[in-house]
Structure 1
Amino acid sequence: MDIAQNAALVVVDVQKGFEEVDFWGTRNNPAADDNIAALIDVWQSTGRPVVFVRHDSVKPGSPLRTGYEGNGFKEYVERRRGKGNGAELLVTKSVNSAFLGTPDLGAWLREAGISQVVLAGIQTNMCVETTARMGGNLGYEVVVAFDATYTFGLEGPFGWRQSADELARASAVSLHGGGFAMVVTTEDVLTAAK
Structure 2
Amino acid sequence: VTDPQNDFLSPEGVTWGVVGQSITENRTVENIGDLFEVAEETGMPVFISPHYYFEHDHKWQFEGTLETLMHAIGMFDRPSALDLEGFEGSGADWLEEYKPYIENGKTVVTSPHKVYGPDSNDLVLQLRKAGIDKVILAGMSSNLCTESHMRSLIEAGFEVMVVTDATAGAITEHYNGYDASLTNFRMIASKVDNTENTVKAIRAAYKK
What TM-score bracket applies, with the shorter chain setting the length? 0.7 to 0.9
Q: Which has the larger share of strand?
A: 1
Query: Aligned partners of 1:187, 1:71: CA distance in 2, in Å?
Result: 28
Inter-CA distance 113–23: structure 2 relative to 1 (3 Å threshold) = closer
Aligned counterpart, 1:73: 94
Q: What letter matches 1:79 in structure 2?
A: P
Contact 1:133 1:181 in 2 (8 A): no
Task: Spell out, residue by residue over 1:61-91, the C-alpha distance to the aligned partner (whole angstroms, 9 max, x if none).
Answer: 322111461111110112322337xx42111
Written as runs of structure 1 = structure 2, the 5 A alignment for 1:82-121 is: 82-83=103-104, 87-91=106-110, 92-101=112-121, 104-121=122-139
Task: Spell out, residue by residue over 1:104-159, the C-alpha distance to the aligned partner (whole angstroms, 9 max, x if none).
Answer: 1112211221011111111011100000011111111111111011121257xxxx
Aligned counterpart, 1:158: none
Aligned counterpart, 2:73: 61
Query: Aligned partners of 1:124, 1:79: CA distance in 2, in Å?
Result: 24
Contact 2:14 2:91 in 1 (8 A): no
What's the TM-score, normalizing by structure 1? 0.79
Task: Give SS of 2:149's match.
Answer: helix
Compute the displacement of 1:52 (Å). 1.6
Q: What letter matches 1:33 in structure 2?
A: V
What's the TM-score, normalizing by structure 2? 0.74
Contact 1:99 1:135 in 2 (8 A): no
Query: Aligned partners of 1:136, 1:37: CA distance in 2, in Å?
Result: 25
Q: CA RMSD in A?
A: 2.0
Q: Which has the larger share of helix?
A: 2
Task: Give SS of 2:166's match.
Answer: strand
Contact 2:7 2:15 in 1 (8 A): no
Task: Spell out, residue by residue over 1:7-58, the C-alpha distance to the aligned partner (whole angstroms, 9 max, x if none).
Answer: xxxx110111223466552320311100001101111111111112210133
Give the number of aligned pairs.
171
Query: Aligned partners of 1:136, 1:50: CA distance in 2, in Å?
Result: 18
Query: Aligned partners of 1:89, 1:181: CA distance in 2, in Å?
Result: 24
Contact 2:141 2:167 in 1 (8 A): yes
Compute the displacement of 1:192 (Å). 0.4
Q: State which of 32, 35, 43 in structure 1 corresponds to 2:31.
A: 35
Written as runs of structure 1 = structure 2, the 5 A alignment for 1:1-194 is: 11-18=1-8, 19=10, 20=12, 23-27=15-19, 28-30=22-24, 31-57=27-53, 58=57, 59-67=71-79, 69-83=90-104, 87-91=106-110, 92-101=112-121, 104-154=122-172, 161-163=174-176, 167-177=177-187, 179-194=188-203
Unaligned runs of 5+ in 2: 58-70, 80-85, 204-208
Moved over 6 A (4+): none
Q: What letter matches 2:192 in structure 1?
A: V
